Every structure is written in structure tokens, then in C-alpha cells.
């Protein structure tokens, strides 16, 4: 979903369709490299970026300004199947 939003009178675009959008994915990867010294591009090219990994971005003037990523993990705790949602974010 792409959506225009305003925060403190500043206009942003919220975008959660990153994986298959080269321009946005490149900006997301640049932020990941600058912030965490990691790149997702080889991971994407190898086909390992699946539906369970969901980054959510704010774009400002065409550049990635912030990211919150959700990685859904299915697991079993004390015999009960659960879906976990750990997050890693940076602004």
C-alpha cells in the first residue's frame, strides 16, 4: 500500500511494497547499509526475501527517511503454535 501522510506539517509517502519495486528497494538497501552495514540485495537476488519479511517505509522527497521491518516467524512454544512478530526499526 502506498499512502500520502503528513507528520508535523511535513509530507511523506508510506510504502510497504518494497520487495519488487527496484527504486524503493534500492533506497531501503542504502538506508540498511548506512545504518546497520548490511545489504538485502543479494538476499533478494537469491530469492530468499519471502512474504514473511515486511519492511514499511516513509519516503520524503523520493528518499527513504525511516523504516520499520516486521519478520513473521512461525514457531512452537510449550506445544502451542504461535506466530511471532519481532521488529527492527530505525528512523
Q: What is the pLDDT of residues 59-88, one digit of tens each?
A: 999 999 999 988 888 888 898 888 776 655
CA max distance for the chain? 49
Q: What is the pLDDT of residues 31-53, one digit of tens each?
A: 999 999 999 999 999 999 988 88
Name the pairing type of β-strands 53-60 and 10-15. Answer: antiparallel
Domain ranges for the chain, please list them: 2-90
Say if residue 90's pLDDT is above 70. no
User: What cell does 17 get?
Assistant: 511494497
Note the pLDDT of residue 81.
84
Note the pLDDT of residue 86.
60
User: Cα torsion at 49, 72, 17, 2 (round to 10°)?
Assistant: -170
Q: Which CATH class is domain 2-90?
A: alpha beta
More reliable by pLDDT, 5 or 83: 5
Amino acid at each position: 500500500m502506498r499512502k500520502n501522510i503528513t507528520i508535523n506539517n511535513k509530507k511523506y509517502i508510506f510504502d510497504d511494497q518494497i520487495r519488487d519495486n527496484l527504486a524503493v528497494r534500492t533506497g531501503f538497501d542504502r538506508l540498511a547499509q548506512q545504518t546497520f552495514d548490511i545489504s538485502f540485495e543479494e538476499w533478494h537476488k537469491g530469492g530468499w526475501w519471502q512474504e514473511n519479511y515486511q519492511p514499511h517505509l516513509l519516503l520524503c522527497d523520493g528518499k527513504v527517511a525511516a523504516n520499520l521491518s516486521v519478520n513473521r516467524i512461525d514457531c512452537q512454544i510449550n506445544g502451542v503454535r504461535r506466530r511471532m512478530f519481532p521488529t527492527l526499526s530505525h528512523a
